[in-house]
Amino acid sequence: MIDERIAELIHADIDGCLPEARRAELSRVLLADPEARAFHGDMQRLQERLEAVADEEVPPNFADSVMAAIPASAAGAGSHAPSRSLRRVLALAAGVAVVAVALRIGGLGGEIDGTAAVGTMASPPASAPVTIDRPEVSGSVQLRQTAEALFVDLDVALHEDVQIVAVQANSSVSFSGRAGAARDRQRLTLELPAGASGPVSVRFASHGRSIGDVQLEPPVGRH
Amino acid sequence: MSEDDDAELVRRCVRGDRRAFERLVLRYQKPVYNAALRMLRHPEDARDVAQTVFLKAYEHLADYDPTHRFYSWIYRIALNESINQLNGRKRVAPVPEDEPSDGPGPEQVLDAQLSGRRIQAALMTLKDEYRAVIVLRHFVDCSYEEMAEVLQLPEKTVKSRLFSARQLLRHALQQTGMTPP
DSSP string, A129-196: PEEEE-SSEEEEEEEEE-SSEEEEEEEEEE-S-EEEEEEETTEEEEEEE--SSTT-EEEEEEEEETT-
Residue B109 has pLDDT above 60, yes or no: no
Interface test with A, best of B8, B12, B19, B25 (most A CBs within 10 A): B25
Q: Are strands A104-105 and A113-114 parallel, antiparallel or unpaired?
A: antiparallel
Which residues does residue A202 pair with via DSSP β-bridges, in sequence order? Answer: A166, A214
Interchain contact B121–A (C-beta under 8 A) = no
Mean pLDDT for the stretch of residues A151-156:
86
Q: What residue ranges in chain B does DSSP mark as E strands?
A: none
Distance between CA B168 and CA B162 in Å, rounded? Answer: 10
Question: Is the CB of residue B136 less than 8 Å from the CB of residue B147?
Answer: yes
Going by pLDDT thresholds of 50, 70 and 90, the confidence category of residue B103 is very low
**In this predicted structure, what is the pLDDT of residue B58?**
92
pLDDT at A76: 64
ipTM higher than threshold 0.85:
no
Position B130: which residue type?
Y
Residue B154: Cβ-neighbour burial (10 angstroms; 0-12, 13-18, 19+)? exposed
Is the predicted pLDDT of residue B76 greater than 70, yes or no?
yes
Chain A contact residues (CB < 8 Å to B): 7-8, 11, 15, 17, 41-43, 45-47, 49-59, 62-63, 65-67, 69-80, 94, 207-210
- Closest-CA residue of chain A to B37: A56
Closest of B141, B140, B31 to residue A16, by C-alpha: B141
What pLDDT, on a 0 to 100 scale, did the predictor assign at position B3?
Answer: 58
Residue A93's pLDDT band, with cuts at 50, 70 and 90, is very low
Question: Rounded to an integer, what distance in angstroms lies between the CA atom of residue A86 and that of residue A188?
Answer: 10
Residue B176 three-state SS: coil
Measure A77 CA to nearest chain B CA, in Å: 6
DSSP A57-89: PPPTTHHHHHHHHS-SSPTT-------TT--S-
Query: Is B18 close to A49, i.e. CB distance below 8 A?
Result: no
The confidence score (pLDDT) of residue A201 equals 83
State mean pLDDT over B153-180.
88
- Judge whether residue A173 has pLDDT over 90: no
Task: Identify the closest residue of chain B to A45 by CA–CA distance.
Answer: B180
Residue A36: the pLDDT is 95
| Bridge partner list, A139 | A132, A156
Q: Sort A32 into a burial class: Cβ within 10 Å, 0-12 / 13-18 / 19+.
A: exposed
Nearest to B74 by CA among B157, B10, B154: B10
On whether the CB atoms of residues A28 and A58 are closer than 8 A, the answer is no
Average model confidence (pLDDT) across chain B: 85
Residues B113-147: tens digit of each pLDDT: 667 888 999 999 999 999 999 999 999 999 999 99
pTM over 0.90: no
Taking contacts as CB-CB distances below 8 angstroms, the residues of chain A near B55 are: 66, 69-70, 208
Of A42, A62, A79, the CB nearest to B47: A62
Are B92 and B143 in contact by the 8 Å Cβ rule? The answer is: no
DSSP state of A126: B
